[in-house]
Amino acid sequence: MTACESDYDRYFGILRQPARTRTAHLRAYLLGDLPHTGLDEDLRTTLVTGLRLAARTVETQPLVLFDTAPVGGPPCALRRWKLGHQVLHLLLTAMNIDLDGCLAATRGAVWHRLADGMAEVRLLYDAATAAMEYAADFPVAAYRDEIRPTMEPPHMPPGFSGVFDRDHRAMVRRLRHLERAVRELPRDASVPETVHRGAAALRAAQRRNRRHHGRICERCVPGGASLLRAHLAQYPVREGSSCDSS
């Protein structure tokens, strides 16, 4: 069976159950590890700011717990890879909450809340970009020899991929709805210019994220195919096939 959403959660230690999100261990380890990374000061500051903002946003919500086991043990590339993705999950969760607020503010024409909400989503988006850099801050050989094999059989079903991150997909859908809603707003005095500037800044953050992700993929697998693409090339998906993503 090909990998799916539940495999993504299991690999990165995301436990989906009705409980409050624990973030203290994420912040503590991240702050201790950042000085040992290759991230520049701007990326470090952006990541810490976004993590603090995300923790404040989600800790009163009935969300998910993180399993600490996958990031236990001495510092190593695999631990950083998994911890970085747990941080990314927390940031995406906060983005989804804020995007819901932005959409509600758009429908209600509450412009100051919309502008403030988009500014917060933009900060979280930039922090997500920094989280990806943190997660992949190790030698290319470490990805090839230590990390990539843990996402392949027998450790994971074939075709493991980041496309199974349901929170990222939900964020993209919400962001598209928001972009469409803002485009349809009149460009006159009835809508403050801060709203349109905020939307432009958010689009710029999305472009930065895509550029960084592309560079990380090329660095880790130069010119190579993802595990999912390689699997589908060998075993095309049959019409009507499915996977339990609960």
Residue with tokens 């952006």: 46
**How would residue 195 be classed by pLDDT, with cut points 50, 70 and 90?**
very high
Structure tokens at 159: 């075709």
92-101, 147-156, 219-228: which range is least confident on average? 219-228
**How would residue 189 be classed by pLDDT, with cut points 50, 70 and 90?**
confident
Mean confidence (pLDDT) of the chain: 85
Give the global pTM. Answer: 0.87
Is pLDDT at 242 greater than 60 in this prediction?
no
Is pLDDT at 19 greater than 70 in this prediction?
no
Q: What is the pLDDT of residue 23?
A: 65
Alpha-carbon span 20 to 16, nearest angstrom? 10
- Helix locations, 24-76, DSSP H: 24-33, 41-58
Contact 161, 228 (CB under 8 A): yes
Domains of the chain listed by start with CATH number? 9-234 (1.20.58)
Higher pLDDT, 117 or 236: 117
**How would residue 149 be classed by pLDDT, with cut points 50, 70 and 90?**
very high
What are the tens digits of pLDDT across the range 27-78? 778 888 898 899 999 999 999 999 989 988 876 554 444 444 444 444 689 9
**Of 202, 211, 214, nearest to 174 (Cα)?**
202
What are the tens digits of pLDDT across the range 216-233? 999 998 876 777 666 666
Alpha-carbon span 160 to 183, nearest angstrom? 36
**Of 136, 156, 106, nearest to 43 (Cα)?**
136
**Of 103, 131, 115, 102, nearest to 39 (Cα)?**
131
172 φ/ψ angles, rounded to the nearest 5 degrees:
-60, -40
Q: What is the dihedral of CA 146, 151, 153, 159, to 10 degrees?
A: -140
